[in-house]
Structure 1
């Protein structure tokens, strides 16, 4: 991946709706080589997908919580079951198996604290392998980006 590929990726991260001609003009190439580079980046799986990023405030998803989950013990089966379980809930935006004092870090996004409490009580806490759930609530998002520095 050279400097031009990185520039193309930066442009796509900023606005994936740009057409190839617009990207080509910004990176200093003609349309055909730009198109070919984008295709190669897709084939190499560097570009995973193209998405529309929604404004969560506008769609009513105003409550963000980070949950630190500790399992009752470190056992491959329990870990895999937990991973699979979390895939069933659209409220869980991110799930990370982490090192340190906790086993998993979840990012949960819902409408409000009531919906969060219902999620914890009616869904997440039903899994017997969970020992503790510690929650932190986002008061303000100072930086929230999807653009990687290349």
Structure 2
């Protein structure tokens, strides 16, 4: 991946609906080589897909909590069971296995704290092998994005 590919990725993160003519102009290429590079980035799995950035508040998902989860069993089978289960829960926006004094860190979006409290008891606590949780409520999101800076 060279600097032009990185420029293409940066522009696509800003606006994936950009025309190929405009994208090519912004990265300093003609249209055909720009399209070829974009197709290669898609084919090689660098670009995984395209979507819309949504405002979570009108979708009853404006409340964010981070949840530390400790499992009572960390065998490979137990971890796989937990991994499969969290993937089926739409309120869990992100799930990361971590090297810490707990096993997973979840990012959970719900309508409000009352909705979260219900979700904690009825869903998170019922996930396979959950022994303990600790919740951190977000007061304000300073940076919360799915895009990232691509180093030169």
Q: In 1, distance between residues paired with 2:7 and 2:62?
A: 33
1:146 lines up with 2:146 in the alignment: yes
Asked if structure 2 preserves the Cα contact closer than 8 Å seen for 1:13 and 1:146, the reply is: no
Asked if structure 2 preserves the Cα contact closer than 8 Å seen for 1:71 and 1:129, the reply is: yes
Note the C-alpha offset of 1:147. Answer: 2.6
Could you tell me the TM-score, scaled by structure 2's length? 0.93
Note the C-alpha offset of 1:131. Answer: 1.1
Q: In 2, distance between residues paired with 1:79 and 1:4?
A: 40
Count of aligned pairs between the two proteins = 150
Q: In 2, distance between residues paired with 1:112 and 1:102?
A: 25
1:34 lines up with 2:7 in the alignment: no
Note the C-alpha offset of 1:128. Answer: 5.3
Q: Deviations over 1:90-149 (max 9, x none)?
A: 000111111111100100001111111111111121235111110001100111223322
Structure 1: segments with no counterpart, 5+ residues: none
Task: Report the equivalent of 1:71.
Answer: 71
Task: Report the equivalent of 1:99.
Answer: 99
Q: In 1, distance between residues paired with 2:10 and 2:101?
A: 35
Superposition RMSD on alpha carbons, in Å? Answer: 1.2
